[in-house]
């Protein structure tokens, strides 16, 4: 039983990371396409737009960083 967990855990972790990345990519692509945050939130099954905003904040920060590069 313990050995089963040891061999299963890395696969479960890899799948969790893959799904997490896929959801972030999905949200980012929709945001860049101009889809409203409320629609993205509903399609991801989030309880509120605040949860979805966590996914989208990294996108917005990256855009700000790119814009600031022009000031250097």
pLDDT tens across 24-48, in order? 889 888 988 899 999 999 999 999 9
pLDDT at position 59, please? 58
Angle CA(48)–CA(54)–CA(56) in degrees, nearest 5?
A: 105
Read off the pTM: 0.62
The mean predicted confidence, pLDDT, of the chain is 79
The full set of domain ranges for the chain reads 23-72
């Amino acid at each position: 039983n313990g050995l089963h967990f040891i061999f299963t855990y890395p696969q479960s972790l890899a799948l969790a990371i893959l799904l997490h990345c896929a959801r972030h990519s999905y949200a980012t692509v929709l945001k860049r396409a101009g889809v409203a945050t409320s629609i993205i939130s509903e399609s991801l099954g989030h309880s509120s737009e605040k949860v979805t905003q966590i996914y989208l904040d990294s996108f917005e920060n990256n855009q700000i960083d790119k814009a600031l590069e022009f000031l250097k």
